[in-house]
Amino acid sequence: MQEKKQKKKVIKTFISHSINDTEKFASFLAKNAKSNDVFCLEGELGVGKTVVAKGIGKFFNVSDSITSPTFTLLKTYDVDNNKIKKIYHFDLYRIKSIEELYNIGFEEYLYDESAISIIEWPEIALDIIENKIKIIKISKEDDINCNSENYRTITYEER
């Protein structure tokens, strides 16, 4: 019996030289967003996951200041768009088990037909997300030719 492998499709790889570049990439994501999309932001601490969330919010003219919901786990932002009315922004860094996600009603947010979800530190939740997942992996590059502290490689794939 042959094992069925999950296909990963790399949609785009982007090199960012600044916060502004990262926000432009986030605009690309937001421009193509559909209701129920789940954007999973992966990368080390301080690499720019929240910058991507801010860029998505900026595209949708979110008036609130977007910050990482590290201690609250979730922040909700209202959006004035034809199909997308809310952005749910999760930070799962402090979540230790899937049971904790069930206790906060995590899955219910993901199936809101009028919203998109952005999840920082999504690794613990990947197995329970049934939506089409858009994974954004951000890594800080140490390029001695670049001389930029903000040099990042951003890879976007769908699962």
Each residue of 20-74: pLDDT tens digit? 999 999 999 999 999 899 999 999 998 999 999 999 999 999 988 898 888 889 9
CA gap 65, 49 in Å, rounded: 15
Distances (CA, A) of 80 to 40, 45, 59, 117, 157: 22, 31, 11, 16, 27
CA gap 47, 154 in Å, rounded: 10
pLDDT of residue 27: 93
pLDDT of residue 2: 45
pLDDT of residue 128: 87
Residues 115-124, mean pLDDT to the nearest whole number: 95
Residues 88-108, mean pLDDT to the nearest whole number: 93
Lowest mean pLDDT: which of 8-17, 58-67, 149-158? 8-17
Edge-to-edge strand ranges of the sheet holding 74-78: 9-16, 152-158, 133-140, 38-42, 115-120, 86-91, 74-78
Of residues 148 and 135, the one with the higher pLDDT is 135
Residue 27: alpha-carbon gap to chain centroid: 12
pLDDT tens-digit series, residues 72-85? 899 999 998 888 99
Residues 83-102, mean pLDDT to the nearest whole number: 93
Structure tokens at 81: 């768009």
CA gap 52, 24 in Å, rounded: 9
pLDDT of residue 1: 40
What's the predicted TM-score (pTM) here?
0.87
